[in-house]
Structure 1
Amino acid sequence: MTTSSPHFTPSDALADVAVLMPAYNGQADVERTLASFAENARVRVVIVDDGSTPPIVAPNVPNMDIEIVRVPQNGGIERALQAGIEALAERGYRYAARIDAGDLAAPGRLAKQRAYLEAHPNVAGLGMWTQVVSRTGAPLFSLRPATDPASVRRLRFFRTSLVHPAMMLRVDAVRAVGNYRVAYRAAEDLDLFLRLMERYDCANLPELGLYYELNEGGISATKRRRQIVSTLKLQWRYFNACNVYDWLGLAKNLLHLVTPYTALQKIKRTVFASHAT
């Protein structure tokens, strides 16, 4: 797949970008998420329906082309994302813009991320700042991670350096490092980011790009222990004893392992709210 930049008309400036959204049931959330995209160009979407019953149906959204890749049996988000990346590669897309059903995109997100990646060819993954909201849309706290690649790499275990559903990824780079994997269940995003940062850079745009819905039934809540154990395994594999933030991140995740989920969410809201003021 060529890495040169083709010439696009203004209305087709996102022709090499596809929104990649895995979905398992939740038709209403899928529709609400897709309706949130506001771009000055046509938006392409690939939904990986991970064995939903009934199957996800592509909604009719203005200025948007939607394709559904169906997985006959629910296999989990890791396998759904694997299939999605391969589908994007087969169709010739260069960039995968991640989002999850229930989250909302800030206006112009795709164009901003694509422009940055075009200007920074060694950046394989680009995130944006995120506003965390409740199911009713009430703001809870903001995630404003470091922006430059060196800081993202240094802080990767200490704080949320890259918000997965706010990321735009180079499809060829994701495939070059082995795509998403099932080796670290519920932490497939961190596993991918760490492998990307062995060869490339990852960064963040210091702008709001996503409204992230804190869903008490989501992976972070229902598979929390599995996620923490997978994260600890990744920390052990990539641990750098010379980086104080690796030590602090290890201590933080060990604390998460023994802290009740509801108490942890209260602490996060307090800490991030104080940082935002």
Structure 2
Amino acid sequence: MTNASTNSTVPGALDDVAVLMPAFNGQADVERTLASFAEDAPIHVLIVDDGSTPPIVAPQLTGMNVEILRMPQNGGIERALKAGIDALAARGFRYAARIDAGDLTVPGRLAKQRAYLEAHAGVAALGMWAQVVTRTGAPLFMLSPPADPAAIRRLRFVRSPFVHPSMMLRIDAVQAVGNYRVAYRAAEDLDLFLRLMERYDCANLPEQGLFYEINEGGISATKRRRQIVSTLKLQLRYFNAANPYDWLGLAKNLLHFVTPYGMLQRVKRVLYAPRAGG
């Protein structure tokens, strides 16, 4: 499996990396997402089937080794991700590359992220930019969080610091800070990143690594109020009164609480739409 846009890598170069995908139903989305991966080395995948009916079946894809970890019942993404991290650690993997069913990856993403983490030992989590698209693939806007760890810490609450399905995580660091938790439902990613940033750096590669699908059945839509409440709790726990962006982030999240989801999506399309000549 080759890709002209990435540097050549030797076979086995991704042996310590595993794609981590939680899934609840959506067999077709699982297959479409995994088929989007293209690397110069074999790819390992762990699907955490969170009680799907019927159970998720591992796709047969050239150059890809897919394993399924089945949860005994549907317990939510937080428990599925925790179980996935623990399973990958037990299998000896060093890095977990997140993606969600329905999203598509950019070819060569895994090699780029692994190379960066190998060169930056103090970075525990690395994200990339994401093109937000509709279910039919139509582009909406680009999510381009800051790359620098200091900027990410400063702006962590005023804008999303990472696109969760674009992340590559050091598994030992994730376990060292307590793994994914259910304490902040629907905001398990922000909870983890804030704990990681207390002990490590976290960064973004300033280039697109993902096509992020807006799904009206996804967590941001169906569990939005719970997500906002969890985010507010995290903002209050980590609030730094000396950082003006923490104040701005708090005000922004309170505004989200009273603003309909559809209106927020329309505002994002205007704010993040490509500018002429930009």
Which bin holds the TM-score, normalised by the shorter protein?
over 0.9
Q: Which residue of 2 aligns with 1:230?
A: 230
Matches within 5 A, 1:95-244: 95-244=95-244
Q: Which residue of 1 aligns with 2:4?
A: none
| TM-score between the two structures when normalised by the length of structure 2 | 0.95
Q: How far did 1:72 drift? A: 1.6
Q: Give the aligned CA root-mean-square deviation in angstroms.
A: 1.0
Q: How far did 1:275 drift? A: 6.2
The whole-number CA distance in structure 2 between the counterparts of 1:47 and 1:154 is 34
The code of the aligned residue for 1:54 comes to P
Q: Which residue of 1 aligns with 2:259?
A: 259
Q: Which residue of 2 aligns with 1:3?
A: none
Q: Which residue of 2 aligns with 1:40?
A: 40
Identity rate of aligned residues, in percent?
A: 78
Q: Which residue of 1 aligns with 2:6?
A: none
Q: Which residue of 2 aligns with 1:246?
A: 246
Q: How far did 1:169 drift? A: 0.2
Q: Which residue of 1 aligns with 2:89?
A: 89
| TM-score between the two structures when normalised by the length of structure 1 | 0.96
The whole-number CA distance in structure 1 between the counterparts of 2:231 and 2:61 is 37
TM-aligned CA distance change 1:65 to 1:274, over 3 Å: closer
Runs of at least 5 residues in structure 2 that lack an aligned partner in the other structure: 1-8
The code of the aligned residue for 2:37 comes to F
The whole-number CA distance in structure 2 between the counterparts of 1:145 and 1:75 is 30
Query: Counterpart of 1:11 in 2: which secondary structure?
Result: coil
Query: Counterpart of 1:204 in 2: which secondary structure?
Result: strand
Q: Which residue of 1 aligns with 2:76?
A: 76
The whole-number CA distance in structure 2 between the counterparts of 1:240 and 1:62 is 49
2:30 aligned with 1:23: no
Q: How far did 1:207 drift? A: 1.1
Q: How far did 1:167 drift? A: 0.2
Q: How far did 1:274 drift? A: 5.5
The code of the aligned residue for 2:84 comes to G
Query: Counterpart of 1:212 in 2: which secondary structure?
Result: strand
Query: Counterpart of 2:151 in 1: which secondary structure?
Result: helix
Q: How far did 1:160 drift? A: 1.3
The whole-number CA distance in structure 2 between the counterparts of 1:178 and 1:72 is 22
Q: Is the 8 A contact 2:141 2:274 kept in 1?
A: no
Tell me how many residue pairs correspond in the alignment: 269
The whole-number CA distance in structure 2 between the counterparts of 1:77 and 1:210 is 20
Greater shift, 79-88 or 266-275, is seen at 266-275
TM-aligned CA distance change 1:180 to 1:201, over 3 Å: same
Runs of at least 5 residues in structure 1 that lack an aligned partner in the other structure: 1-8
The whole-number CA distance in structure 1 between the counterparts of 2:153 and 2:119 is 20
The whole-number CA distance in structure 1 between the counterparts of 2:260 and 2:59 is 38
